[in-house]
Amino acid sequence: MPNKPTPMWGRLLGLLLFCVLAATLAGSVWFYSWAVTEQPSPPSHSVQIEPGGVNAVAQQLVRQGAVDSAPLFVLLARISGKDAELKAGSYSLKAPISPWMLLKKLGKGEVDLQMFSIIEGWNWRQLRQALNTHPYLKHDTAKMSDEEILAALGISALSPEGLFFPESYRIDKGSSDLKLLARAHRLMQEKLDEAWASRKPDLPLKSAYEALILASIVEKETGKAADRPLIAGVFTNRLRQGMRLQTDPTVIYGVGEAFKGDITKAHLRTDTPYNTYTRAGLPPTPIAMVGEAALTAATQPAVTKAVYFVAKGDGSSVFSETLDQHNAAVRKYLRNN
């Protein structure tokens, strides 16, 4: 039997399917070409991505000139399954990059990291100055009072002094200094808890916070690392015997910004909460940021009978058990200095 002619609607359907397939293929080729073609670098040669979903990220990329179409970037992210992997941060784009490579970069979190170091022995004033002048940090704390910073961090303390662990922290360009402080405080709390848990028995300290205060004094008094446990031992003996600590760094801290570099008899006689010549016991707060070695020394001081020490001028100290021995050491070493 002869073949029946194809109905007109069948021909039209076939033509329509062909057109659809051709358009789909052409669109796919065009979309692929867009995805892999390098786009000009943004004017700043970097993009700053705030936390958010794929649509928000795409809009940020368009605003900063990294891609030319937010809907296409969203489509690319969803087709590739990377829409839930995009990470906030600062990304360097110094050379032209395709949307596909940019998507992979954001998915891997290849952020432009910088460093911020908190130095052992810094006081809070020095730390705030370093935060406020760091070029890659967002200065959220710049106009906040100390009390407001503590409240924002959820810290219940008289002062922020000594509450942040000295370390070199990797930071994302444009990240908040408040977040950095939160990280440094968590690390300090961990280190302090560890040191307090492993403390020697019968220390004349009532709490981990008192150990932190003592550690800050040890930090400021130590010129040679090996002397830390002995210096802590001297102050521990003084606390046990009810002697005043009589340590210059606490006096200097109490003087504050008025201190010009030379401690005087007037400073030693001026009563402040931090003058350990005029007041017994520990000062009310730490006087500096404390490293791990000082924490260990304060909670595990050397066993010694010494209650005095004096700097020898080379960074080390000489320790004495009696006042006569100490006075002789003072005459010997301070005369030479």
The answer on pLDDT for 120 being more than 60 is yes
Task: Supply 254's token pair.
Answer: 């109490």
Highest-confidence segment of 97-106, 112-121, 283-292? 283-292
Section 103-129 average pLDDT:
89
Beta carbons within 8 Å of 271's beta carbon, 6+ residues apart: 278, 279
Section 191-211 average pLDDT:
96
* Burial of 53: CB neighbours in 10 Å, binned 0-12, 13-18, 19+: exposed
What percent of the chain stands above pLDDT 90?
Answer: 53
Point out the least confidently predicted range of 16-20, 277-281, 303-307: 16-20
Beta carbons within 8 Å of 323's beta carbon, 6+ residues apart: 308
What integer pLDDT is reported at residue 323 of this predicted model? 92
Beta bridge partners of 91: 47
Section 44-49 average pLDDT:
79
Dist. CA 222–CA 224, nearest whole Å: 6
Q: Which helix (H) or strand (E) holds 172?
A: strand 168-172
Write down all domains in the chain, each with its CATH number in brackets.
44-111 (3.30.1490.480), 113-192 (no CATH), 197-336 (no CATH)
The size of the chain, in residues, is 337
Which residue in this structure is represented by tokens 């937010």?
Answer: 70
Q: How does pLDDT run across 130-188, given as a tens digit for each residue? A: 999 998 899 999 999 999 999 999 999 999 999 999 999 988 878 899 999 999 999 99
What percent of the chain stands above pLDDT 70?
Answer: 92
Beta carbons within 8 Å of 116's beta carbon, 6+ residues apart: 130, 131, 134, 136, 137, 168, 169, 171, 180
Dist. CA 42–CA 54, nearest whole Å: 19
Higher-pLDDT residue of 302, 170? 302
What integer pLDDT is reported at residue 191 of this predicted model? 97
Q: What SS3 state is found at 183? A: helix
Point out the least confidently predicted range of 13-27, 52-66, 78-92, 102-116: 13-27
Dist. CA 107–CA 77, nearest whole Å: 9
What integer pLDDT is reported at residue 142 of this predicted model? 94
What integer pLDDT is reported at residue 286 of this predicted model? 98
pLDDT tier, 33 (very low <50, low <70, confident <90, very high otherwise): confident
Section 72-94 average pLDDT:
87
Beta carbons within 8 Å of 212's beta carbon, 6+ residues apart: 162, 192, 286, 290, 295, 298
Q: How does pLDDT run across 52-66, given as a tens digit for each residue? A: 899 999 999 988 888
* Residues 110 and 86 sit within 8 Å (Cβ to Cβ): no
Q: What is the mean pLDDT of the chain?
A: 88
What integer pLDDT is reported at residue 105 of this predicted model? 87
Dist. CA 41–CA 28, nearest whole Å: 25
Section 89-96 average pLDDT:
82
Question: CA–CA distance from 237 to each of 18, 213, 243 (Å)?
Answer: 93, 16, 8
Which residue in this structure is represented by tokens 């009589």?
Answer: 246
Which residue in this structure is represented by tokens 């409240």?
Answer: 151
What integer pLDDT is reported at residue 164 of this predicted model? 98
The answer on pLDDT for 94 being more than 90 is no
Higher-pLDDT residue of 218, 333? 218
Give the angle subtended at the CA of 110 by the CAs of 106 and 112, to the nearest 5°.
115
Q: How does pLDDT run across 235-274, given as a tens digit for each residue? A: 999 999 999 999 999 999 998 888 877 888 888 899 999 9
Dist. CA 170–CA 164, nearest whole Å: 15
* Residues 105 and 91 sit within 8 Å (Cβ to Cβ): yes
pTM above 0.95, yes or no: no
Section 291-302 average pLDDT:
97
What integer pLDDT is reported at residue 110 of this predicted model? 81
Task: Supply 102's token pair.
Answer: 């940019």
Higher-pLDDT residue of 80, 275? 275
Dist. CA 63–CA 216, nearest whole Å: 48
Task: Supply 227's token pair.
Answer: 């002397």
Task: Provide, for the chain, the percentages of residues in helix, strand and coil under a 3-state DSSP scheme, each rounded to the nearest 5.
Answer: 50, 10, 40
